């Protein structure tokens, strides 16, 4: 059967903005073929199409190198971008995986040019921002752990198959071997602290020791944080990696996790502050960890209970997960050694904050607050 391929048309799209990135290309990924646009002065035919087979993807990379391209922008369309992304990354190109929603929100006459030319034009003037994707070694570890989660979740449907436990054990061996590769040549600056609590691995957790390996990889012990055990720390690292410099601040990190409020302001009024819906797996891990804090006598547990009473459990889980994300970010980036002050210390600090606020409120109304234990009038503190 003959495949009818549509040939891209040569178009020109002059930009009114200053060109920041010159050696760039745009790629429109599809299931059968990819359309690629390079700067018009680099090739007589600056827009070409390539099939999605491996040999064609390597020809695409060769053509980009011949045209002097160093950076490539592509939309995250389904899963069609993954093979091309890995090939280009292995060939040394800087690849920006662009959220299609961000491209759509950039104003411009997209109908006048093809998608790949539009991506190249936006990338040339610096209007694109790449989505987060871990480095190749962490991506491979993430694939193993996601496959393991799939096996665990499908245990009910495979309960009558004797191969299930064998598949889990095979996956665990692969994970341990990959972690051993990651720790080669890495020596932490601080010794491994004693475990926060000693317990046996749960039913669906790996049977090998995780804490020493994770400590060698990161230089810190994430399992010292409340509600984050060794396996939770491994799953979290497989999603976010170990390089926190990918996010300039902790606010950028929580925003990427979609755990920060998405404020919608119009006319000076706050219309909504709900978090964005997202399928971020790292955020789901942190939410599950936050949910387990509800019955603990920790500062984070007290924080969760206070918010759950005031705004409900759903919002309390999101807020507590954001707190956990900030602690994880500071631990990995700054080497923070987390020490839990306890629920009593948190409640005492919250009570002092409440008394201070009530004292100022009473003073503004012409009243004073009396301490019934000492009989003294509490004076407002001037900050």
Residue 26 CA: distances (Å) to CA of 86, 120, 204, 267: 16, 4, 43, 37
Helix/strand/coil for 28 = strand
Mean pLDDT throughout 114-125? 86
3-state secondary structure labels for all residues of 326-365: HHHHHHHHHCCCCCCCCHHHHHHHHHHHHHHHHHHHHHHC
Residue 153 region by backbone torsions, left for phi larger than 0, else alpha for psi between -120 and 50, else beta: alpha
**Range ranked top by mean pLDDT from 157-161, 176-180, 186-190:** 176-180
Q: Which DSSP symbol is given to 244?
A: G
Helix/strand/coil for 37 = strand
List of residues 6+ apart from 215 with CB closer than 8 A: 188, 192, 221
Report the 10 Å Cβ neighbour count for 241: 21
pLDDT band of residue 163 (cuts 50, 70, 90) is low
Helix/strand/coil for 370 = strand
Could you tell me the domains of the chain? 24-124 (3.30.420.10), 136-218 (no CATH), 343-378 (no CATH)
- How high is the mean pLDDT of the chain? 86
Helix/strand/coil for 54 = helix
Q: For 319-333, what is each residue's pLDDT tens digit?
A: 999 999 999 999 999
Mean pLDDT throughout 190-204? 83
- Does the pLDDT value for residue 10 go beyond 80? no
- Does the pLDDT value for residue 17 go beyond 80? no
Q: For 250-263, what is each residue's pLDDT tens digit?
A: 999 999 999 998 88
Confirm whether pTM is higher than 0.75.
no
The pLDDT value recorded for residue 79 is: 85
- Does the pLDDT value for residue 147 go beyond 60? yes
Q: For 57-108, what is each residue's pLDDT tens digit?
A: 999 999 999 999 999 999 877 888 999 999 999 999 999 988 777 676 655 5
- Does the pLDDT value for residue 297 go beyond 90? yes
């Amino acid at each position: 059967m003959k495949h009818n391929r549509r040939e891209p048309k040569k178009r020109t799209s002059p930009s009114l903005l200053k060109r920041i990135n010159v050696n760039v290309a745009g790629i429109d990924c599809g299931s059968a073929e990819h359309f690629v646009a390079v700067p018009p002065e680099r090739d007589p035919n600056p827009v070409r199409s390539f099939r999605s087979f491996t040999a064609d993807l390597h020809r695409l990379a060769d053509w980009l190198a011949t045209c002097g391209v160093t950076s490539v922008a592509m939309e995250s369309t389904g899963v069609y971008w993954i093979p091309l992304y890995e090939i280009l990354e292995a060939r040394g190109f800087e690849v920006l995986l662009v959220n299609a929603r961000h491209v759509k929100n950039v104003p411009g006459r997209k109908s006048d040019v093809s998608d790949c030319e539009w991506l190249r034009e936006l990338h040339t003037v610096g209007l694109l921002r790449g989505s987060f994707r871990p480095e190749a070694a962490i991506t491979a570890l993430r694939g193993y752990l996601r496959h393991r989660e799939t096996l665990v979740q499908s245990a009910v449907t495979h309960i009558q198959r004797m191969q299930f436990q064998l598949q889990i054990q095979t996956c665990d061996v692969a994970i341990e071997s990959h972690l051993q590769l990651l720790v080669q040549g890495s020596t932490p600056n601080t010794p491994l602290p004693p475990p926060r609590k000693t317990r046996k691995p749960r039913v669906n957790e790996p049977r090998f020791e995780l804490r020493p390996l994770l400590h060698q990889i990161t230089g810190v012990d994430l399992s010292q944080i409340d509600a984050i055990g060794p396996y939770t720390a491994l799953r979290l690292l497989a999603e976010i990696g170990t390089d926190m410099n990918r996010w300039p601040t902790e606010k950028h990190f929580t925003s990427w996790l979609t755990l920060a409020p998405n404020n919608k302001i119009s006319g000076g009024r706050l219309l909504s502050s709900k978090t964005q819906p997202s399928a971020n797996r790292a955020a789901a891990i942190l939410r599950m960890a936050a949910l387990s804090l509800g019955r603990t006598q920790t500062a984070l547990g007290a924080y969760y209970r206070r918010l759950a009473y005031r705004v409900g459990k759903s919002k309390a889980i999101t807020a507590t997960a954001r707190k956990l994300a900030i602690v994880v970010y500071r631990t990995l980036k700054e080497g923070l050694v987390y020490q839990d002050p306890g629920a009593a210390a948190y409640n005492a600090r919250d009570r002092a904050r409440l008394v201070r606020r009530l004292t100022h409120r009473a003073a503004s109304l012409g009243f004073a607050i009396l301490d019934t234990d000492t009989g003294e009038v509490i004076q407002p503190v001037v900050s």
